[in-house]
Amino acid sequence: MNTTEHILIVFGVLFVLLNIAAGLIWVERRLLALWQDRLGPNRAGPLGIFIVLADTLKLFFKEDWVPPFADKWVFITAPAIVVASVLMSFVIIPFAPGIVVADLNIGIIFFLAMSSLGVYSIVLGGWASNNKYALLGALRGASQMIAYEVFMGLSLMGVVMLSGSFNLGEIVAAQKNLWFVVTQPVGFVVFLIAGIAETHRLPFDIPEAESELIAGYHAEYSGMKFGMFFIGEYLGVTLISAMIVTLFFGGWLGPAFLPPLVWFVIKLFFFIGLFILLRASLPRPRYDQLISYGWKILLPLVLLNVLVTGAIALYLRG
């Protein structure tokens, strides 16, 4: 791959991701309306598609306010961290053969490292706001993300053992005959639950529980600073969906009547739809229930999965 092709891939991936993040505003509202038996956006343009433009313009023209009691530079930096860390995570995802920004041998480790940086944006945003509700939301978010990062990492060890690689391209190739969701169902379920908690989407949106904490860690944010937290959340949903597709559902692999990239996109939007359906259907647990659920149920389950997978893999190779 020459330099020009590489630059085109980088800018192409960036352009598509930022447009998906914007487009998911409309997709989520339409799907929530469908599942809740109401109309949803239908006035601004055909099927309400211009609601994306309206929301974007609204965020751009809102007053970009920094509270006088806030730690200004930390307050400004925090929203940028979440977007940067999620975008960096996308560099290792193979969307199709030859369409990957960086084909790293340590792809999974890089993904876990970048996704864990998102904790800093929540903690710094809540702390710099100098607001007790924002700080409570930040502390909730930090403990939730750090706890579920453990289960997320352990849930992928079975995939690594079966494929013999941390490289995502090689993991996709290893699923040529059988998707890993068949051989690693426990790993898939734990990764999905941990992914919902990491992106703090409903039912695990406890760091920003509006009935308890106003808006949680971003209570003091407005304008495009709030918009960057908003974009970061949708990019996070897209990232976790892309990782599920790559690690457990064969990535770009599919019957030959469609191009590999199209298969990847179809699978990707299926899981994005699942994230939105969960928001429409499940209630929020209490905070202590969420944390105890992780340490008392998911941790033993995922450790058992690693033990059993390792034993079976050794037996088959021996």
Domain ranges of the chain: 67-317
Least Cα distance to 145 among 291, 305, 293 occurs for 291
Which whole-number Å values give the CA distances from 264 to 62, 93, 107, 271, in the listed order? 37, 11, 18, 11
- Tokens representing 152 are 């997320």
Which whole-number Å values give the CA distances from 94 to 4, 173, 190, 242, 247, in the listed order? 18, 11, 22, 9, 11
At residue 129, the pLDDT reads 82
| Res 235 pLDDT > 80 | yes
The predicted model gives 125-143 an average pLDDT of 84
Least Cα distance to 228 among 124, 139, 142, 108 occurs for 124
| Res 245 pLDDT > 70 | yes
At residue 249, the pLDDT reads 94
* Per-residue H/E/C for 167-216: CHHHHHHCCCCCCHHHHCHHHHHHHHHHHHHHCCCCCCCHHHCHHHHCCH
> What residue type is assigned to position 316 of the chain?
L
For residues 88 and 110, give the distance between their C-alpha atoms in angstroms, rounded to a whole number. 9
For residues 121 and 114, give the distance between their C-alpha atoms in angstroms, rounded to a whole number. 12
Mean pLDDT check: name the lowest of 1-5, 179-183, 247-251.
1-5
| Res 75 pLDDT > 70 | yes
At residue 158, the pLDDT reads 92
At residue 192, the pLDDT reads 94
At residue 207, the pLDDT reads 66
For residues 201 and 188, give the distance between their C-alpha atoms in angstroms, rounded to a whole number. 18
Mean pLDDT check: name the lowest of 12-21, 57-66, 291-300.
57-66
Least Cα distance to 139 among 295, 291, 297 occurs for 291
Query: How long a stretch of residues is the chain?
Result: 318
Which carries the bigger pLDDT value, residue 104 or residue 207?
A: 104
| Res 214 pLDDT > 70 | no
| Res 215 pLDDT > 80 | no
Which carries the bigger pLDDT value, residue 241 or residue 282?
A: 241
At residue 248, the pLDDT reads 94
| Res 6 pLDDT > 80 | yes
Give the torsion sign (CA, 226, 34, 272, 209).
positive
| Res 217 pLDDT > 80 | no
How do residues 255-312 score in pLDDT, each as one tens digit? 888 899 999 999 999 999 999 888 888 888 888 888 898 899 999 999 999 999 999 9
Q: Which of 115-119, 142-146, 246-250 has the highest mean pLDDT?
A: 246-250
At residue 109, the pLDDT reads 93
| Res 212 pLDDT > 70 | no
